[in-house]
Structure 1
Amino acid sequence: MFSENLRSVRTAKGFSQQELAGRLHVVRQTISKWEKGISVPDADMLIRISEILELSVSELLGAKITEEMNQSEVAEQLARINEQLAVKNRRTRRILRIAMGFLIGIVVFYIILLILSMASFNSFKNGKKVEVTAQTETVIPEE
């Protein structure tokens, strides 16, 4: 809701992402992340955005809030939004960790296969038969 409101109000006021970022002293990518819903600004930044775009914080957040709503209620809304983003980020990090573990396992598996194939190739190349027993390794000369 915030992301959609920010984009629509910004474009209605005629600001580009770069212009708004310059006025807020942030990089353009920060504005883009806010508009995509990847992150949200903190309370102080919300106040600065609302001043630049000339609307209330509650309107920017998208809630139809009466004037009776105090700052603690707005803070509660921000806390809920931040918690939702934190849950989403934790889930994403968990998935990335699992994927990286899987990829590392595959790489280790292929390295072991490479080492075993090199050992097998070297024994074949030398023309010696290698007999592996449970405790010792015996080289049998060719007849």
Structure 2
Amino acid sequence: MLSKNLKIFRKRKGLTQENVAEALNVVRQTISKWEKGISVPDADMLIKLAEILDVSVSELIGSDVADEKNEDMKAVELARVVEQLASRNRRSKKVLKCVLIFLIILLLFFVFLCVINFATM
């Protein structure tokens, strides 16, 4: 819901992804990822984004703002979005760590082979 709403509200406001990115001090690709649903903004960015687009956070994430009972639902939805982002960040860090470990092992193996090859000469 956030990705679709972000694009709709941004266009209604007459802003480009670049305009929004500059206002938030992020790169344009970040806005693009949010609009494609690849990633989500953290809670602070979500609040700033809502201010830039002149909408409420609940409108941005797709909640109904007409009823005060929905305040709890908005908080739950916002917490879910933030947790989703944190989970993706944790996975990315784990993958990066595994790749780095693999590359270090590969480098050490290459150095070992070079030392053995040089020693036999």
TM-score by length of 1: 0.67
| Residue matched to 2:119 | 119
Whole-Å Cα distance in 1 between the matches of residues 105 and 47 of structure 2? Answer: 48
After superposition, residues 9-24 of structure 1 pair within 5 angstroms as 9-22=9-22, 24=23
Give runs of aligned pairs for residues 1-143 of structure 1, distance below 5 A. Answer: 1-22=1-22, 24-29=23-28, 30-36=30-36, 37-43=38-44, 45-69=45-69, 71-121=71-121
Matched to 2:26, the amino acid is V
Structure with greater strand percent: 1
1:26-48 deviation per Cα after TM superposition (whole angstroms, max 9, x unaligned):
234343443344231425x4344
Query: 1:112 is aligned with what amino acid?
Result: F
The whole-number CA distance in structure 2 between the counterparts of 1:113 and 1:105 is: 12
The 3-state SS of whatever aligns with 1:35 is helix
How far apart in 1 are the matches of 2:113 and 2:48? 59
- Percentage of identical aligned residues: 41
Residue 85 of structure 1, CA deviation? 1.3
- Which moves more between the two structures, 61-70 or 2-11? 61-70
Partner of 1:127: none
Deviates more, 1:26-35 or 1:71-80: 26-35
- In structure 2, list runs of 5 or more residues that go unmatched: none
The one-letter amino acid paired with 2:39 is I
Q: What number of residue pairs does the alignment pair up?
A: 119
Deviation of 1:54 (Å) = 3.4
Mark the runs of 5 or more structure 1 residues left unpaired by the alignment. Answer: 122-143
Q: CA RMSD in A?
A: 2.5
**Distance in 1, Cα, partners of 2:51 & 2:68:** 20
Supply the distance in 1 between the matched residues of 2:96 and 2:25 (Cα, whole angstroms). Answer: 28
Letter in 1 for 2:25: V
TM-score w.r.t. length of structure 2: 0.77
Which structure shows the higher helix fraction? 2
In the aligned structure 2, how far is the partner of 1:48 from the partner of 1:95? Answer: 30
Of structures 1 and 2, the one scoring higher in RCO (CA 8 A, sep 6+) is: 2
CA distance in 2, matches of 1:27, 1:50: 15
Deviations 1:87-130 (A, max 9, x none): 12111211121121111111101100100100101xxxxxxxxx
